[in-house]
Amino acid sequence: MFVPFIKVNFNQAVFIMSNLDVELVKGYILGFGIWAPVASFVLMVFQSVIAPLPAFLITFANAGLFGWVKGAILSWSSAMAGAVLCFYIAQYFGREAVERLTSRTALKSVDVFFENYGKYAILIARLLPFVSFDIVSYAAGLTSMSFWPFFIATGVGQLPATIVYSYIGGMLTGTTKTMVTGLLMLFALSALAVMLKKVWTDRKQREVGSIEKAV
Protein backbone atom coordinates (compact mmCIF):
# COMPACT_ATOMS: atom_id res chain seq x y z
CA MET A 1 0.00 0.00 0.00
CA PHE A 2 3.04 2.30 0.17
CA VAL A 3 3.57 1.81 -3.58
CA PRO A 4 1.52 4.50 -5.39
CA PHE A 5 0.58 2.26 -8.35
CA ILE A 6 -0.74 -0.49 -6.06
CA LYS A 7 -2.55 1.94 -3.78
CA VAL A 8 -4.31 3.67 -6.70
CA ASN A 9 -5.44 0.39 -8.22
CA PHE A 10 -6.55 -0.92 -4.83
CA ASN A 11 -8.75 2.11 -4.19
CA GLN A 12 -10.08 2.04 -7.74
CA ALA A 13 -11.00 -1.65 -7.49
CA VAL A 14 -12.84 -1.13 -4.19
CA PHE A 15 -14.74 1.85 -5.61
CA ILE A 16 -15.75 -0.01 -8.77
CA MET A 17 -16.88 -3.15 -6.94
CA SER A 18 -18.88 -1.18 -4.38
CA ASN A 19 -20.91 0.48 -7.16
CA LEU A 20 -22.47 -2.86 -8.23
CA ASP A 21 -22.15 -1.89 -11.89
CA VAL A 22 -21.08 -4.60 -14.31
CA GLU A 23 -20.10 -2.10 -17.00
CA LEU A 24 -17.68 -0.38 -14.65
CA VAL A 25 -16.06 -3.71 -13.82
CA LYS A 26 -15.80 -4.61 -17.51
CA GLY A 27 -14.21 -1.27 -18.30
CA TYR A 28 -11.72 -1.64 -15.47
CA ILE A 29 -10.66 -5.12 -16.63
CA LEU A 30 -10.45 -4.03 -20.28
CA GLY A 31 -8.14 -1.22 -19.24
CA PHE A 32 -5.37 -3.79 -18.76
CA GLY A 33 -5.38 -4.70 -22.47
CA ILE A 34 -3.88 -8.11 -23.24
CA TRP A 35 -3.46 -8.64 -19.50
CA ALA A 36 -7.22 -8.41 -18.96
CA PRO A 37 -7.67 -12.14 -18.07
CA VAL A 38 -4.80 -11.88 -15.58
CA ALA A 39 -6.31 -8.70 -14.12
CA SER A 40 -9.66 -10.45 -13.77
CA PHE A 41 -8.02 -13.41 -12.02
CA VAL A 42 -6.19 -11.12 -9.58
CA LEU A 43 -9.35 -9.09 -9.00
CA MET A 44 -11.30 -12.23 -8.08
CA VAL A 45 -8.59 -13.33 -5.65
CA PHE A 46 -8.47 -9.80 -4.23
CA GLN A 47 -12.21 -9.74 -3.56
CA SER A 48 -11.90 -13.13 -1.87
CA VAL A 49 -9.37 -11.85 0.65
CA ILE A 50 -11.02 -8.46 1.23
CA ALA A 51 -14.47 -9.84 2.05
CA PRO A 52 -17.28 -9.18 1.35
CA LEU A 53 -16.90 -7.54 -2.06
CA PRO A 54 -19.36 -9.14 -4.56
CA ALA A 55 -17.69 -11.81 -6.70
CA PHE A 56 -20.67 -12.24 -9.03
CA LEU A 57 -19.91 -8.86 -10.64
CA ILE A 58 -16.58 -10.22 -11.87
CA THR A 59 -18.29 -13.38 -13.10
CA PHE A 60 -20.77 -11.29 -15.12
CA ALA A 61 -17.95 -9.12 -16.48
CA ASN A 62 -15.86 -12.14 -17.49
CA ALA A 63 -18.78 -13.62 -19.41
CA GLY A 64 -19.40 -10.34 -21.21
CA LEU A 65 -15.73 -9.90 -22.13
CA PHE A 66 -14.57 -13.43 -22.91
CA GLY A 67 -17.77 -15.34 -23.70
CA TRP A 68 -19.75 -17.29 -21.15
CA VAL A 69 -17.79 -20.57 -21.47
CA LYS A 70 -14.30 -19.06 -21.21
CA GLY A 71 -15.62 -16.55 -18.70
CA ALA A 72 -17.02 -19.35 -16.55
CA ILE A 73 -13.70 -21.20 -16.60
CA LEU A 74 -11.82 -18.02 -15.64
CA SER A 75 -14.29 -17.15 -12.89
CA TRP A 76 -14.38 -20.67 -11.45
CA SER A 77 -10.60 -21.13 -11.39
CA SER A 78 -9.90 -17.69 -9.92
CA ALA A 79 -12.61 -18.12 -7.28
CA MET A 80 -11.06 -21.48 -6.36
CA ALA A 81 -7.68 -19.79 -5.97
CA GLY A 82 -9.23 -17.12 -3.76
CA ALA A 83 -11.02 -19.68 -1.60
CA VAL A 84 -7.82 -21.68 -1.13
CA LEU A 85 -5.92 -18.53 -0.18
CA CYS A 86 -8.57 -17.63 2.44
CA PHE A 87 -8.45 -21.17 3.82
CA TYR A 88 -4.68 -21.12 4.28
CA ILE A 89 -4.61 -17.57 5.65
CA ALA A 90 -6.97 -18.73 8.38
CA GLN A 91 -4.95 -21.89 9.05
CA TYR A 92 -1.55 -20.20 9.26
CA PHE A 93 -2.38 -16.80 10.77
CA GLY A 94 -5.31 -17.71 12.99
CA ARG A 95 -8.53 -16.12 14.10
CA GLU A 96 -7.14 -12.70 14.97
CA ALA A 97 -5.90 -12.12 11.41
CA VAL A 98 -9.21 -13.33 9.96
CA GLU A 99 -11.19 -10.96 12.18
CA ARG A 100 -9.10 -8.05 10.90
CA LEU A 101 -9.80 -9.03 7.28
CA THR A 102 -13.53 -9.59 7.88
CA SER A 103 -15.30 -8.77 11.14
CA ARG A 104 -15.68 -10.47 14.50
CA THR A 105 -19.49 -10.39 14.37
CA ALA A 106 -19.72 -11.89 10.89
CA LEU A 107 -17.23 -14.60 11.77
CA LYS A 108 -19.12 -15.57 14.92
CA SER A 109 -22.37 -15.94 13.00
CA VAL A 110 -20.65 -18.16 10.43
CA ASP A 111 -19.09 -20.21 13.26
CA VAL A 112 -22.54 -21.08 14.60
CA PHE A 113 -23.80 -21.94 11.13
CA PHE A 114 -20.72 -24.04 10.49
CA GLU A 115 -21.16 -26.00 13.72
CA ASN A 116 -24.70 -26.98 12.76
CA TYR A 117 -24.37 -27.52 9.01
CA GLY A 118 -20.66 -27.62 8.26
CA LYS A 119 -20.73 -29.60 5.03
CA TYR A 120 -23.76 -27.71 3.75
CA ALA A 121 -22.44 -24.26 4.70
CA ILE A 122 -19.92 -24.30 1.85
CA LEU A 123 -22.52 -25.31 -0.74
CA ILE A 124 -25.12 -22.81 0.44
CA ALA A 125 -22.65 -19.93 0.63
CA ARG A 126 -21.44 -20.43 -2.94
CA LEU A 127 -25.00 -20.67 -4.30
CA LEU A 128 -26.22 -17.51 -2.58
CA PRO A 129 -24.70 -14.25 -3.85
CA PHE A 130 -25.49 -12.27 -0.70
CA VAL A 131 -23.85 -14.79 1.66
CA SER A 132 -20.13 -14.12 1.92
CA PHE A 133 -18.47 -17.33 0.80
CA ASP A 134 -15.15 -15.70 1.57
CA ILE A 135 -15.97 -15.60 5.30
CA VAL A 136 -17.06 -19.23 5.10
CA SER A 137 -13.69 -20.09 3.53
CA TYR A 138 -11.93 -18.34 6.39
CA ALA A 139 -14.14 -20.13 8.92
CA ALA A 140 -13.36 -23.50 7.31
CA GLY A 141 -9.66 -22.80 7.74
CA LEU A 142 -10.20 -22.23 11.46
CA THR A 143 -11.85 -25.63 11.92
CA SER A 144 -10.39 -29.12 11.86
CA MET A 145 -11.59 -29.59 8.27
CA SER A 146 -8.77 -30.83 6.05
CA PHE A 147 -7.89 -29.22 2.74
CA TRP A 148 -9.22 -31.73 0.22
CA PRO A 149 -12.79 -32.00 1.59
CA PHE A 150 -12.90 -28.21 1.61
CA PHE A 151 -11.46 -27.97 -1.89
CA ILE A 152 -13.87 -30.52 -3.36
CA ALA A 153 -16.92 -29.03 -1.64
CA THR A 154 -15.85 -25.58 -2.82
CA GLY A 155 -15.39 -26.68 -6.42
CA VAL A 156 -18.70 -28.55 -6.57
CA GLY A 157 -20.61 -25.90 -4.64
CA GLN A 158 -19.55 -22.96 -6.75
CA LEU A 159 -19.87 -24.67 -10.15
CA PRO A 160 -23.68 -24.35 -10.67
CA ALA A 161 -23.75 -20.69 -9.68
CA THR A 162 -20.70 -19.89 -11.82
CA ILE A 163 -22.29 -21.49 -14.90
CA VAL A 164 -25.64 -19.75 -14.38
CA TYR A 165 -24.11 -16.35 -13.65
CA SER A 166 -21.77 -16.66 -16.62
CA TYR A 167 -24.59 -17.60 -18.98
CA ILE A 168 -26.69 -14.67 -17.77
CA GLY A 169 -23.68 -12.37 -17.84
CA GLY A 170 -23.08 -13.16 -21.49
CA MET A 171 -26.54 -11.75 -22.32
CA LEU A 172 -26.39 -8.59 -20.22
CA THR A 173 -26.01 -5.24 -21.96
CA GLY A 174 -26.14 -1.60 -20.96
CA THR A 175 -26.84 -0.51 -17.38
CA THR A 176 -27.60 -3.79 -15.71
CA LYS A 177 -27.90 -3.13 -11.97
CA THR A 178 -31.69 -3.59 -11.75
CA MET A 179 -31.76 -6.65 -13.98
CA VAL A 180 -28.82 -8.23 -12.21
CA THR A 181 -30.40 -7.68 -8.81
CA GLY A 182 -33.69 -9.25 -9.90
CA LEU A 183 -32.04 -12.29 -11.47
CA LEU A 184 -29.79 -12.86 -8.49
CA MET A 185 -32.67 -12.65 -6.04
CA LEU A 186 -34.71 -15.15 -8.08
CA PHE A 187 -31.85 -17.63 -8.35
CA ALA A 188 -30.83 -17.17 -4.72
CA LEU A 189 -34.32 -17.77 -3.37
CA SER A 190 -34.68 -20.91 -5.47
CA ALA A 191 -31.30 -22.22 -4.31
CA LEU A 192 -32.11 -21.34 -0.70
CA ALA A 193 -35.41 -23.23 -0.82
CA VAL A 194 -33.74 -26.38 -2.15
CA MET A 195 -30.85 -26.29 0.32
CA LEU A 196 -33.04 -25.52 3.35
CA LYS A 197 -35.29 -28.44 2.47
CA LYS A 198 -32.25 -30.72 2.33
CA VAL A 199 -30.91 -29.42 5.64
CA TRP A 200 -34.33 -29.77 7.32
CA THR A 201 -34.70 -33.35 6.06
CA ASP A 202 -31.26 -34.34 7.30
CA ARG A 203 -31.89 -32.72 10.67
CA LYS A 204 -35.14 -34.65 11.08
CA GLN A 205 -33.34 -37.86 10.20
CA ARG A 206 -30.70 -37.16 12.87
CA GLU A 207 -33.41 -36.46 15.46
CA VAL A 208 -35.18 -39.69 14.61
CA GLY A 209 -31.88 -41.55 14.84
CA SER A 210 -31.14 -40.01 18.25
CA ILE A 211 -34.58 -41.02 19.56
CA GLU A 212 -34.13 -44.58 18.30
CA LYS A 213 -30.73 -44.85 19.99
CA ALA A 214 -32.18 -43.52 23.26
CA VAL A 215 -34.97 -46.10 23.13
Answer whether residue 210 is part of any domain.
no
CB 12 within 8 A of CB 28: yes
Answer whether residue 126 is part of any domain.
yes
Answer whether residue 213 is part of any domain.
no
- pLDDT, position 192: 61
Answer whether residue 215 is part of any domain.
no
- pLDDT, position 117: 67
CA atoms within 13 A on the CB side of 11: 7
**Owning domain of residue 63:** 4-205
- pLDDT, position 197: 63
- pLDDT, position 213: 61
Amino acid letter, 60 = F
Count of domains in the chain? 1
CB 20 within 8 A of CB 14: no
Answer whether residue 214 is part of any domain.
no
Answer whether residue 187 is part of any domain.
yes
Dihedral sign of CA atoms 171, 173, 179, 181 in order: positive
- pLDDT, position 46: 87
Please list the ranges in the chain whose pLDDT falls under 70.
Answer: 1, 51-53, 117-119, 127-131, 172-202, 204-215
- pLDDT, position 5: 76
